[in-house]
C-alpha cells in the first residue's frame, strides 16, 4: 500500500493466501498474488516469497506507484522521457529533473525521511520508465546506493539525507563525505559502458529537495609494470619510466 515499499521483499504466509475467501480480508500482497501481479518465487516453511513475474508487470506497477506518490503522472510533473534524459542530458539538468519529481511528492502521506525513502522514489521512477536500476551494488570496496544504465551511459548515485533544521554547514559536509566515499570505494569503476557518470547528491529534509550535488570524476588507478618500465594509469595514456637501478 505504501509506494515507497515498491522494491521491498514481499512475502505472505501459506495460511493467509489459502484462507482468504474475499477481497476485503486479503492483504495487498495477497490480492496482487491472487490476481497474478505477483508470482511465487520460493517457499520457506510456512512463508511464501513473491515478486513481479516479469519486467513488463514490474514497469506497469512502478508507473502506478509513482502516480500515487506524485498525485499525477510523471509527465504531468514535468519529466518527459526519463530514460532518454538519463542517457543524454548533462548532470545539472538531471539534478533539476530529480528535484521536479521530489517536489511533486505528497509530503503529508509519503514523506522522504531518510536515504532509503529518497532512493526508493528515484528507483520507482526509473523502473516505471523501463530501466533496471540496482541498489546497494557491491564491489570489492563497498556498495553504492543506486546504479542504472541508460543508452551507453552508466550512472552511479551516492545519496545523503540532511534531516531537519540543522547547521548551515551540514549539507556541504555530507556532500564532501559522499564524494570521498565514491572516490575511495571506486563506485561504478567496474562498468563496461562507454560513459560513466557519478553524482553525489544531498537531499535537504527542511527544503525537501536536493540542495547540494557534485559530479565525481572516475577514479584513476595506477599500476607499475616493472618488466617493461611503464606506468599504466586508468583513463590516461601509458607513460614510460626509467626503472633501472641507480
pLDDT of residue 39 exceeding 50, the answer is yes
Tell me how far apart the terminal alpha carbons of the chain are, to the nearest angstrom. Answer: 71
Task: Categorize the per-residue pLDDT at 224 as very low, low, confident or very high, splitting at 50, 70 and 90.
Answer: very low
Task: Categorize the per-residue pLDDT at 235 as very low, low, confident or very high, splitting at 50, 70 and 90.
Answer: very low
Task: Categorize the per-residue pLDDT at 236 as very low, low, confident or very high, splitting at 50, 70 and 90.
Answer: very low
Grid cell in block for residue 138: 557491491
Contact of 200 with 160, CB cutoff 8 Å:
yes
Q: What is the pLDDT of residues 170-210, one digit of tens each?
A: 999 999 999 999 999 999 888 777 899 999 999 999 899 99
Task: Categorize the per-residue pLDDT at 34 as very low, low, confident or very high, splitting at 50, 70 and 90.
Answer: confident
Q: Average pLDDT, stretch 63-79?
A: 89
Rg value, the chain, Cα: 22
Task: Categorize the per-residue pLDDT at 6 as very low, low, confident or very high, splitting at 50, 70 and 90.
Answer: confident
Q: How far apart are CA 227 and CA 178, in angstroms?
A: 38
Return all residues near 158 (Cβ < 8 A) that are at least 6 apart.
144, 145, 178, 179, 181, 182, 187, 198, 199, 200, 201, 216
Q: What is the pLDDT of residues 120-142, one digit of tens each?
A: 999 999 999 999 999 888 887 88
Amino acid at each position: 500500500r505504501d509506494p515507497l515499499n515498491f522494491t521491498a521483499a514481499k512475502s505472505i504466509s501459506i495460511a493467509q493466501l489459502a484462507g482468504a475467501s474475499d477481497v476485503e480480508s486479503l492483504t495487498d500482497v495477497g490480492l496482487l498474488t491472487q490476481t497474478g501481479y505477483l508470482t511465487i518465487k520460493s517457499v520457506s516453511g510456512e512463508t511464501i516469497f513473491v515478486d513481479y513475474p516479469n519486467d513488463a508487470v514490474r514497469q506497469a506497477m512502478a508507473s502506478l506507484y509513482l502516480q500515487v506518490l506524485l498525485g499525477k503522472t510523471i509527465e504531468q510533473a514535468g519529466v518527459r522521457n526519463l530514460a532518454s534524459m538519463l542517457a543524454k542530458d548533462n548532470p545539472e539538468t538531471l539534478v533539476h529533473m530529480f528535484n521536479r519529481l521530489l517536489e511533486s511528492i505528497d509530503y503529508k502521506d509519503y514523506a522522504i525521511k531518510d536515504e532509503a525513502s529518497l532512493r526508493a522514489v528515484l528507483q520507482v521512477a526509473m523502473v516505471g520508465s523501463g530501466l533496471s536500476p540496482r541498489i546497494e551494488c557491491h564491489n570489492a570496496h563497498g556498495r553504492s546506493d543506486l546504479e542504472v544504465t541508460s543508452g551507453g551511459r552508466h550512472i552511479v548515485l551516492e545519496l545523503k539525507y540532511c534531516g531537519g533544521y540543522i547547521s548551515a554547514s551540514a549539507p556541504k559536509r555530507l556532500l564532501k563525505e559522499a564524494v570521498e566515499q565514491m572516490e575511495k570505494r571506486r563506485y561504478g569503476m567496474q562498468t563496461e559502458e562507454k560513459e560513466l557518470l557519478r553524482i553525489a547528491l544531498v537531499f535537504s529534509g527542511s527544503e525537501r529537495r536536493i540542495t547540494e550535488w557534485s559530479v565525481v570524476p572516475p577514479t584513476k588507478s595506477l599500476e607499475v609494470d616493472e618488466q617493461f618500465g611503464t606506468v599504466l594509469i586508468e583513463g590516461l595514456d601509458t607513460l614510460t619510466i626509467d626503472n633501472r637501478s641507480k
